[in-house]
């Protein structure tokens, strides 16, 4: 049976843990507000960029030609897995890792390569059969535009040079503070949008100087925007899940403190009762 000293030490330890988890929750909440704002501001820009690309692509018809649109026989596929650099964020990483394993298990390991954005994904896959081509472990859930440009340059260069025939992004799409979903998006090649009924299909554009020059300027920006949008969603999801995990940990620590305090009082009461009985027994024996 635990002694009063042992229980008291454990209560102190749990209280210290609760202070840490409470502080981490507050930090995650502050970072979440910033990341959520960035994700919400990025999404309309990304969607508008996609609409513009679709509208111009439909208008260009046969004139459309750019390496990013090149669809070829698939000999090598690349999966960009976006996880976190740090833990203590609930099921954020495990859901992404399970989805990545499922996607890669359906393919020939020799025809699949993995690019890990975030230390947690790299630590999981580094001792497994999958080829890890490159890693980006310095984001720490904060947008680094220089690193994003380097990442986009690396991915697009692999596609344009024919090193990879298809590139996919696997990340957590931020929906709300309490909800996010694992999302797999095809990054490259870009599917040529088909003409649809509506204003976009009936608009006649005059391309100046020519479609190749316009798409040569637009598509690199589109590739950069899509990568930034995926990272923004991932960072917001990470902060949200960490905040929820730390909130739950703080609540559980409080419940454990209450339980240990009750146990401490019971043991203390039992010790007092035992001492009283010993005093009474001693007094009775003296009378006899």
Which residues are catalytically annotated?
Answer: 89
Neighbours of 225 (CB within 10 A): 19
Q: Are 223 and 163 in contact (CB under 8 A)?
A: no
What is the rounded distance in angstroms from the CA atom of residue 243 to the CA atom of residue 241?
A: 5
CA-nearest of 35, 223, 229 to 140 is 35
Question: Which of left, alpha, beta for 141 (phi over 0: left; psi -120 to 50: alpha)?
Answer: left
Q: Beta 131-136 vs 112-117: how paired, if at all? A: parallel
Task: Beginning with the edge strand found earlier in the chain, give each strand of the sheet holding 179-188 in spatial order.
Answer: 131-136, 112-117, 77-82, 166-176, 179-188
N residues, the chain? 288
Write the DSSP assignment of 164-227 as a string of letters. Answer: -SEEEEEEEEEEETTEEEEEEEEEESPPPPPP-SSHHHHPPP--SS-HHHHHHHHHHHHHHHHH
Neighbours of 224 (CB within 10 A): 18
Helix, strand, coil percent values for the chain (each to nearest 5): 65, 15, 25
């Amino acid at each position: 049976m635990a002694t009063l000293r042992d229980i008291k030490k454990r209560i102190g330890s749990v209280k210290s843990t609760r202070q840490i988890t409470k502080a981490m929750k507050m930090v995650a909440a502050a970072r979440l507000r910033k990341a959520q704002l960035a994700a919400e501001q990025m999404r309309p820009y990304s969607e508008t960029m996609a609409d513009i690309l679709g509208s111009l692509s439909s208008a260009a018809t046969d004139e459309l030609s750019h390496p990013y649109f090149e669809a070829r026989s698939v000999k090598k596929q690349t999966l960009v897995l976006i996880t976190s650099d740090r833990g203590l964020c609930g099921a954020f990483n495990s859901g992404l890792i399970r989805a990545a394993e499922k996607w890669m298990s359906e393919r020939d390991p020799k025809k699949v390569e993995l690019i890990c954005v975030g230390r947690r994904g790299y630590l999981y896959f580094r001792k497994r059969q999958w080829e890890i081509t490159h890693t980006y472990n310095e984001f720490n859930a904060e947008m680094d535009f220089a690193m994003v440009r380097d990442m986009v340059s690396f991915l697009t260069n692999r596609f344009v040079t024919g090193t990879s025939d298809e590139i996919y992004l696997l990340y957590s799409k931020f929906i709300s503070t309490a909800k996010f979903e694992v999302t797999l998006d095809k990054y490259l090649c870009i599917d040529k949008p088909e003409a649809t009924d509506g204003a976009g299909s009936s608009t006649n554009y005059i391309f100046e100087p020519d479609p190749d020059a316009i798409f040569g300027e637009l598509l690199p920006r589109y590739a950069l925007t899509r990568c930034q949008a995926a990272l923004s969603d991932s960072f917001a999801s990470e902060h949200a899940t960490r905040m929820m995990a730390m909130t739950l940990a703080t609540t559980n620590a409080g419940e454990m403190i209450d339980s240990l305090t009750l146990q401490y009082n019971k043991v203390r009461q039992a010790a007092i009762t035992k001492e009283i009985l010993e005093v009474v027994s001693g007094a009775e024996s003296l009378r006899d």
